[in-house]
């Protein structure tokens, strides 16, 4: 396994991040525990979750599964860099969502209880809260850091200017600020290259791409169009929409002798701003298969061909000006 620093921090994390969104709704608790155990065996030490995962309001189903896994001992908690998120609705009362100081405090305490741990390695804001001032957010986060309940703070789904404003406000308060940003980023979704990627580079944030396979589109969707979730109406619609690109992409992957999924992950890993793409395996075989991406070295010529199929963005404002 390869490791890198999480952004400008001193924290070392694996270059693949284990996503847990399937744990509970798609993968049984026993299967989830097996996947996490095997991830540690493979050297994957970076796990990502969120208090809303499990999709039962207020229950934190996925965090509970992780907590019962931690409770088994054997160094599971000590070996794991756990990242979770807050923002989403966790109850019916007005302050049981978003990132007010009150909800930050409550959400953190609840996540700690569910995961049966006394600290969160990376506490991420799942979305921007345009109605909450940054001084309030950082004051609340600073208290959690001083109490030892949170070690690092990250963002998710932020715009570039949100990252800039957040970290400039943190700097004025002599607080570390954001060390990571979790964004939608894959060959077929490259909008973050306009402003988010440059902001991450400038402020030293590690970029954690979610949906690296575009919901299965980049995982050999044409060959597996009738299998699993690829058979869903939404995926079939996307396959029809992007069929021309997918045909060229899968042909290029065949020419390289590599699977489309591995090439998609390898492409993200080739970006120095990217810390770790989030993989969401539902089985042990899917987890092991993701490791092949480390052995793929994409040449400049191949990256150029990928850019022709999936055009990216220049840094703003050059992308839309001169």
Residues serving a catalytic function are 53
> β-pairing, 3-5 with 17-19?
unpaired
Q: What are phi and psi of 310, to 5 degrees?
A: -120, 85
Give the DSSP H/E element, type plus range, for residue 3: strand 3-5
Distance in angstroms (rounded) separating the CA atoms of residues 160 and 172: 19
- For the residues of 148-196, what is the DSSP string, one character each? TSEEEEEEES--HHHHHHHHHHHHHTT---EEEEEEE-BTTB-GGGTTH
Residue 92's Cβ-count burial label (10 Å; 0-12, 13-18, 19+) is: exposed
> β-pairing, 12-14 with 17-19?
unpaired
Q: At what angle do helices 260-269 and 243-256 cross, to 10 degrees?
A: 90
Query: Taking the CA atoms of the chain, what radius of gyration do you get in angstroms?
Result: 19
**Two tokens, residue 225:** 């169009």
Residue 295's Cβ-count burial label (10 Å; 0-12, 13-18, 19+) is: exposed
Distance of CA 322 to the CA centre of its chain: 32
């Amino acid at each position: 396994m390869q490791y890198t620093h999480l952004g400008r921090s001193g924290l070392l994390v694996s270059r693949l991040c284990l996503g847990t969104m399937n744990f509970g709704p798609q993968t049984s608790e026993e299967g989830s525990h097996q996947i996490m155990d095997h991830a540690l065996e493979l050297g994957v030490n970076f796990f990502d979750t969120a208090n809303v995962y499990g999709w039962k309001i207020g229950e934190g189903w996925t965090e509970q599964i992780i907590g019962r896994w931690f409770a088994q001992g054997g160094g599971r908690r000590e070996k794991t860099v756990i990242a979770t998120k807050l923002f989403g609705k966790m109850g019916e009362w007005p302050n049981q969502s978003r990132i007010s100081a009150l909800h930050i405090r409550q959400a953190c305490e609840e996540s700690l209880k569910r995961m049966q741990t006394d600290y969160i390695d990376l506490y991420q804001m799942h979305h921007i809260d345009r109605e909450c001032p940054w001084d309030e957010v950082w004051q609340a986060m600073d208290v959690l850091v001083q109490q030892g309940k949170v070690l690092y703070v990250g963002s998710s789904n932020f715009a570039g200017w949100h990252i800039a404003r957040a970290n400039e406000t943190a700097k004025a308060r002599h607080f570390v600020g954001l060390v990571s940003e979790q964004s939608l980023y894959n060959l077929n979704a490259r909008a973050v290259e306009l402003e988010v990627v440059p902001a991450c580079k400038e402020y030293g944030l590690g970029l954690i791409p979610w949906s690296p396979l575009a919901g299965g589109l980049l995982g050999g969707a044409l060959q597996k169009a009738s299998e699993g979730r690829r058979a869903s109406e939404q995926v079939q619609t996307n396959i029809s929409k992007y069929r021309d690109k997918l045909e060229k992409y899968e042909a290029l992957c065949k020419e390289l002798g590599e699977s489309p999924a591995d090439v998609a992950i390898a492409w993200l890993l080739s970006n120095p701003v990217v810390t770790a793409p989030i993989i969401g395996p539902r089985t042990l075989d899917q987890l092991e298969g993701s490791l092949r991406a480390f052995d793929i070295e994409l040449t400049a010529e191949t990256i150029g061909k990928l850019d022709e199929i999936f055009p990216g963005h220049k840094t703003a404002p050059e992308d839309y000006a001169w």
